[in-house]
């Protein structure tokens, strides 16, 4: 009986091909849009977090228990006393790709014509952690550890202040004693990471010079640790745990962004539901119109002995055929769109800087393949299509043969 119902369902769909094709297109466009949208959102989240890990936070940070990130305090009690020892110890642990001390200080960079507030970062210039900055150099050279008056700045900052490699600038920071110290530095290199907030607001100098400039002796704000993968995070954290230290994971340091995106995802779930509901209404309308057009035929089938459940199954099979065909086309459209955005991306330019310092959006945003999400969307779409077919199927199954034969 099932094979005969398949044949009847296939023939019924072919009677009004335009309507059937339009219904399939609706399913395909709906699913394709959902796949594209979810792949894009996943790409924004993943790329922002990875950019922040790569350029700012690392996978794990060691800080003094009294240190508060937002304040960038240079007071000695808030800094790590032996950052080199901690970094050396962390580097020996399994799963650690690199560990290096870093010093952060708020400051002002000035030229004769303009000035801007920036973050001064003292870095271990020999560490592999800063390979992304080496790769991002677009002019000049990377800093040497013993450079006493050299700095690196982002291309965006250089453009705003009219600076080039070899230019001299004035830097001012409030040191550990609370006094404003000013020095003249030379731009050794210019980098372009593609993260507007980082390229505009960061000035890098050798760690030893930053410590001397800020009068922190050999203290540092934190030790940044990069891991081979996230699997080693808890093991490394356990090995480094100490009562007088903070151990912050990348999740802890990106919590604001993660929570914001999770809150925003509720809106996208609602949008997903609306798109699926629209598709369901189209399918229901298609099948209901088909039932009205075939009332006499269904009356004949009922008079010949076809039961109501068979009519229900036939209409569900019609919906399944349209749904599966539409899902196949939608997957092709959606996955090809995600592939394009994954490799090419969408250039958003300066809009990325609106996100602020806590969200490391690049000037070009890419999508990301999320197979489990795409599979879930496909299954949910198919379920919505079948649910949409229930009312037309129920209506057809309740038709009395005599009434149906009269039309």
Q: Compute the 3-state secondary structure of the chain and give helix, strand, coil in percent, each to the nearest 5.
A: 60, 20, 20
Q: How far apart are CA 101 and CA 123, in angstroms?
A: 7
Q: How far apart are CA 280 and CA 384, in angstroms?
A: 6
75: left (phi over 0), alpha (psi -120 to 50) or beta: beta
140: left (phi over 0), alpha (psi -120 to 50) or beta: left
- What pLDDT is stored for residue 328 in this prediction? 95
Q: How far apart are CA 407 and CA 400, in angstroms?
A: 11
- What pLDDT is stored for residue 63 in this prediction? 93
Q: Phi and psi for 363 in degrees, rounded to 5?
A: -70, -15
- What pLDDT is stored for residue 178 in this prediction? 85
**With contact defined as beta carbons under 8 Å apart, do 38 and 374 qualify?**
yes
Q: How far apart are CA 57 and CA 35, in angstroms?
A: 31
Alpha-carbon torsion, ordered 68, 69, 75, 81, to 10 deg: 90
- What pLDDT is stored for residue 129 in this prediction? 92
Task: Please report, in tens digits, the pLDDT of each residue of the chain (407 residues total).
Answer: 556 666 666 677 667 778 788 888 989 999 999 999 999 888 888 888 888 888 888 999 999 988 876 678 888 889 998 899 999 999 999 999 999 999 999 999 999 888 899 999 999 999 999 999 999 999 999 999 999 999 999 999 999 999 999 999 999 998 888 888 899 999 999 999 888 888 888 999 999 999 999 999 889 999 999 998 888 899 999 999 988 899 999 888 888 778 877 787 778 888 888 888 888 888 888 877 776 666 666 666 666 566 666 677 777 888 888 889 999 999 999 999 999 999 888 877 666 555 555 566 666 788 899 999 999 999 999 999 888 888 877 776 666 655 555 55
Enter the tokens of residue 325.
Answer: 């065909």
Residue 170: which residues within 8 A CB-CB, separation 6 or more? Answer: 109, 110, 111, 182, 183, 184, 185
Q: How far apart are CA 354 and CA 371, in angstroms?
A: 31
- What pLDDT is stored for residue 261 in this prediction? 77
């Amino acid at each position: 009986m099932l094979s005969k119902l398949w044949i009847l369902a296939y023939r019924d769909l072919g009677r009004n091909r335009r309507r059937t094709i339009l219904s399939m297109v609706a399913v395909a466009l709906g699913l394709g849009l959902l796949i594209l949208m979810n792949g894009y959102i996943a790409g924004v989240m993943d790329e922002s977090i990875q950019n922040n890990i790569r350029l700012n936070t690392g996978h794990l940070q060691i800080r003094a228990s009294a240190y508060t990130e937002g304040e960038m305090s240079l007071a000695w009690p808030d800094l790590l006393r032996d950052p080199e020892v901690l970094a050396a110890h962390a580097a020996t642990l399994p799963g650690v790709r690199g560990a290096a001390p870093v010093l952060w200080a708020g400051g002002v960079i000035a030229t004769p014509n303009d000035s801007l507030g920036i973050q001064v970062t003292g870095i271990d210039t020999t560490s592999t952690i800063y390979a992304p900055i080496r790769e991002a150099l677009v002019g000049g050279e990377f800093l040497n550890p013993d450079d006493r008056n050299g700095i690196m700045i982002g291309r965006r900052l250089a453009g705003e202040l009219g600076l080039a490699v070899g230019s001299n600038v004035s830097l001012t920071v409030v040191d550990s004693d609370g006094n404003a110290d000013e020095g003249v530095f030379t731009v050794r290199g210019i980098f372009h990471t593609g993260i507007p907030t980082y390229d505009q607001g960061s000035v890098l100098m050798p760690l030893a010079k930053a410590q001397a400039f800020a009068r922190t002796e050999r203290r540092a704000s934190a030790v940044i640790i990069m891991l081979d993968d996230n699997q080693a995070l808890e093991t490394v954290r356990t090995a480094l745990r100490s009562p007088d230290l903070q151990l912050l994971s990348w999740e802890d340091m990106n919590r604001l962004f993660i929570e914001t995106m999770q809150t925003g995802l509720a809106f996208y779930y609602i949008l997903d539901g609306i798109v699926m509901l629209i598709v369901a209404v189209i399918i229901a309308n298609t099948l209901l119109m088909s039932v009205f057009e075939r009332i006499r035929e269904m009356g004949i089938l009922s008079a010949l002995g076809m039961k109501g459940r068979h009519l229900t199954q036939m209409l569900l099979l019609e919906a399944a055929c349209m749904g599966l065909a539409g899902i196949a086309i939608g997957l092709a459209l959606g996955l090809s769109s995600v592939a394009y955005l994954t490799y090419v991306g969408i250039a958003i330019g300066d809009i990325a800087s609106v996100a602020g310092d806590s969200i490391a959006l690049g000037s070009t945003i890419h999508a990301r393949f999320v197979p489990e999400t795409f599979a879930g969307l496909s299954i949910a779409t198919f379920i919505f299509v079948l649910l949409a077919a229930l009312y037309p199927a129920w209506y057809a199954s309740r038709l009395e043969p005599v009434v149906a034969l009269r039309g």
